[in-house]
């Protein structure tokens, strides 16, 4: 069938032909399939490439329910874009995979995959079989990773100051870059507080993130313990408990509810008084059990009756109600207490321990939190993020998460390569050099891979307002001449292309993973010969 052709004009008056196929194709094969898949992948990569680097632009995404997100985090952009095509989903999973394993480099991996696919398409159009291209890329990947390993350097992780500088570099491209130093310190101290330096590992489960809208981003802080987003149940309870013994309750401080179907008729003063006395006795017994256990602070997952609350106040035991399930669990782990489901189970050995529990007022009188510090398990910390609204809070969380990932990755493996496209340039040059002694077809695949790597310095330069082609040529010539793998794009216009002195580096593991994932997905797409899409509906 002939496609319908429509003539339209763009905003500059230039004619544009719009082809509207009468019937949406459901089956694509051979070169057509490859071309269509690569088209989708490169358009996705093109969208995120403008977010790459310290001068990358942010994206405003409005989801189907009208929710707003402002971010420059690759994995988030990809997830929120929610591409309907399977290839788009594949590229999204690429970014997520990098995010899950490493935490940063989520934009770079997509941009690189897009460039690899674009170059592969050119080769395929010139008659080289996709499988030969895929194999050539595999060879190029081996050369690239070997070069990365050889050019990597060891980073001294025992130096807090150095780690802060690294975290500052990561945070430099994020919205929260106004409070760089403070945010970087929070990220580094959070990771160092929970890190097991002997086993060289960091358990992120021990770093809790709590966000609270209101306040300024600079009010964000690290608390060496837990934060409950609530206040004490009675305004006159002591604001502070030292050496707290904490009862962690999963039972409400309320009288038992009558079963459904029963009616309780209170039609006389006597009956009311009798009911009141029974309830009173019930609460007194509960609070007595709490007192007898030696508890000096109560956290309850459920509600309290006012009467019970008053009794706790009289007993001098501050309390928190309606704590979230994960707060209760975190508290039990942090303070070494047990979660109690029956008052009879309360005993001194079930109580958690913390050096200081405090109710804090934030800015206004109505905004309060409860902090629990000096817990028995000292390794649990909370990053308490403040910001004017949810959008800021979410982006701050993502940025801090990226920075913490970089610090954790350095602790796991302190090998680093240089950023600003320096590592890509170095690998690209090494591949070009290796081309002399291979067959012509392989040579072309290797060259394509080398050129695809150049997309990173090119995008960084473009996003920073530099001339991309000239910058690339200059940097390549300089690296070739000096053999210095630290020469990269001076995005911040500091007057030097030496990424070593600019402290722009990335972990070797992150860069290797980026190269591997991007190549893997490219090979995967190259190997697809036919795609049949039964979900594709006619518009």
Where along the sequence are the contacts to ligand ADP (CB under 6 A)? 51-54, 56, 72, 74, 104-108, 169, 172-173, 419-421, 456, 460, 489, 491-492, 502, 504, 506
Annotation marks residue 344 as catalytic? no
Q: 266 or 469, CB closer to ligand ADP?
A: 469
* Neighbouring C-alpha atoms within 13 Å toward the C-beta of 537: 2
CB of 354 to ligand ADP, least distance (A): 37
Q: 40 or 487, CB closer to ligand ADP?
A: 487
CB 195 within 8 A of CB 170: no
For 294, left (φ over 0), alpha (ψ -120 to 50), or beta?
Answer: left
Annotation marks residue 73 as catalytic? yes
CB of 415 to ligand ADP, least distance (A): 15
Q: 454 or 506, CB closer to ligand ADP?
A: 506
Q: What one-character-per-residue DSSP string does 411-473 give?
A: HH--EEEETTTHHHHHHHHHHHHHGGGS-HHHHHHHHHHHHHHTHHHHHHHHHTTS-HHHHHH
Neighbours of 3 (CB within 10 A): 11
Q: 169 or 309, CB closer to ligand ADP?
A: 169
Annotation marks residue 507 as catalytic? no
CB of 54 to ligand ADP, least distance (A): 4
Question: Quick check: helix, strand or coil at residue 303?
Answer: coil
Q: 52 or 331, CB closer to ligand ADP?
A: 52
Alpha helices in 18-159 (DSSP H): 30-49, 74-81, 86-101, 106-125, 130-151
CB of 512 to ligand ADP, least distance (A): 14
397/158 Cα distance (integer angstroms)? 25
CB 429 within 8 A of CB 451: no
DSSP tally for the chain: helices H, then strands E: 16, 19
CB 217 within 8 A of CB 386: yes
H or E stretch covering 8 = strand 4-9
Angstrom distances, CA of residue 325 to CA of 248, 299, 304, 321, 322? 11, 11, 16, 11, 9
Cβ-Cβ contacts under 8 Å for 378 (sequence gap 6 or more)? 193, 224
CB of 59 to ligand ADP, least distance (A): 11
Q: 152 or 371, CB closer to ligand ADP?
A: 152
CB of 454 to ligand ADP, least distance (A): 13
CB of 171 to ligand ADP, least distance (A): 9
Closest CA to 456 of 518, 410, 413, 407: 518
β-strands 368-375, 352-361 pairing: antiparallel
Q: What are phi and psi of 532, to 5 degrees?
A: -120, 120
Q: How is residue 195 annotated by DSSP? A: -
Q: 492 or 528, CB closer to ligand ADP?
A: 492
Neighbours of 162 (CB within 10 A): 15
Q: What are phi and psi of 155, to 5 degrees?
A: -105, 140
Q: 359 or 451, CB closer to ligand ADP?
A: 451
CB of 299 to ligand ADP, least distance (A): 38
* Per annotation, catalytic residue among 99, 189, 402, 498: 402
* Per annotation, catalytic residue among 106, 169, 371, 382: 106
Q: 512 or 526, CB closer to ligand ADP?
A: 512
* Per annotation, catalytic residue among 42, 76, 107, 220: 107
CB of 377 to ligand ADP, least distance (A): 32
Annotation marks residue 106 as catalytic? yes
Q: Which residue is nearest to ligand ADP (CB)?
A: 419
H or E stretch covering 327 = helix 325-335
* Per annotation, catalytic residue among 73, 99, 104, 490: 73
Active-site positions? Answer: 73, 106-107, 402
């Amino acid at each position: 069938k002939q496609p319908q052709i429509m003539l339209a004009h763009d905003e500059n008056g230039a004619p544009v032909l719009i082809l509207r196929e009468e019937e949406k194709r459901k089956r694509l094969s051979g070169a057509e399939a490859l071309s269509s898949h690569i088209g989708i992948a490169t358009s996705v990569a093109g969208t995120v490439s403008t977010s790459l680097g310290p001068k990358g632009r942010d994206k405003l995404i409005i989801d189907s329910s009208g929710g707003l997100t402002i971010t420059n985090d690759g994995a988030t952009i990809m997830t929120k874009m929610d591409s309907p095509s399977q290839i788009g989903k594949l590229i999204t999973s690429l970014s997520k995979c990098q995010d899950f394993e490493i935490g940063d480099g989520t934009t770079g991996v997509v941009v690189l995959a897009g460039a690899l696919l674009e170059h592969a398409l050119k080769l395929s159009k010139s008659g080289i079989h996709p499988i030969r291209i895929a194999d050539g890329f595999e060879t190029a990947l081996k050369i690239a990773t070997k070069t990365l390993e050889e050019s990597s350097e060891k980073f001294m992780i025992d130096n807090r100051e150095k780690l802060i500088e690294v975290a500052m570099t990561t945070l430099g491209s994020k919205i929260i870059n106004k409070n760089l130093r403070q945010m970087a310190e929070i990220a580094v101290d959070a990771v160092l507080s929970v890190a097991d330096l002997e086993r060289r590992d960091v358990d992120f489960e021990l770093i809790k993130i709590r966000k609270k809208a209101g306040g300024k981003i600079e009010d964000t802080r690290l608390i060496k313990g837990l934060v409950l987003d609530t206040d004490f149940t009675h305004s006159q309870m002591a604001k502070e408990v030292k050496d707290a013994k904490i009862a962690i309750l999963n039972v409400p401080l309320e009288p038992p509810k009558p079963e459904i179907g029963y009616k309780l008729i209170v039609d006389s003063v006597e009956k009311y008084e009798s009911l009141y006395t029974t309830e009173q006795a019930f609460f007194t017994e509960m609070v007595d059990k709490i007192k007898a256990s030696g508890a000096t602070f109560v956290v309850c997952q459920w509600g309290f009756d006012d009467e019970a609350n008053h009794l706790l106040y009289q007993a001098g035991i501050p309390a928190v109600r309606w704590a979230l399930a994960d707060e209760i669990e975190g508290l039990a782990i942090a303070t070494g207490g047990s979660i109690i489901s029956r008052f009879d189970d309360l005993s001194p050995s079930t109580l958690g321990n913390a050096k200081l529990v405090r109710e804090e007022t934030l800015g206004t009188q109505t905004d309060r939190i409860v902090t629990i510090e000096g817990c028995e398990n000292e390794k649990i910390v909370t990053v308490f993020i403040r910001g004017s609204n949810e959008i800021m809070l979410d982006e701050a969380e993502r940025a801090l998460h990226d920075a913490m990932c970089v610090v954790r990755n350095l602790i796991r493996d302190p090998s680093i390569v240089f950023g600003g496209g320096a590592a890509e340039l170095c690998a690209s040059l090494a591949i070009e050099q290796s081309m002399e002694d291979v067959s012509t077809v392989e040579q072309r695949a290797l060259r394509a891979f080398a050129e695809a790597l150049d997309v990173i310095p090119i995008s960084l330069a473009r996003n920073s307002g530099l001339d991309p082609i000239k910058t690339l040529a200059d940097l390549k010539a300089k690296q070739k001449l000096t053999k210095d793998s630290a020469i990269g794009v001076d995005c911040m216009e500091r007057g030097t292309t030496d990424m070593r002195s600019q402290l722009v580096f990335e972990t070797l593991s992150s860069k290797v993973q980026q190269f591997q994932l991007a190549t893997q997905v490219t090979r995967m797409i190259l190997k697809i010969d036919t795609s049949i899409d039964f979900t594709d509906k006619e518009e």
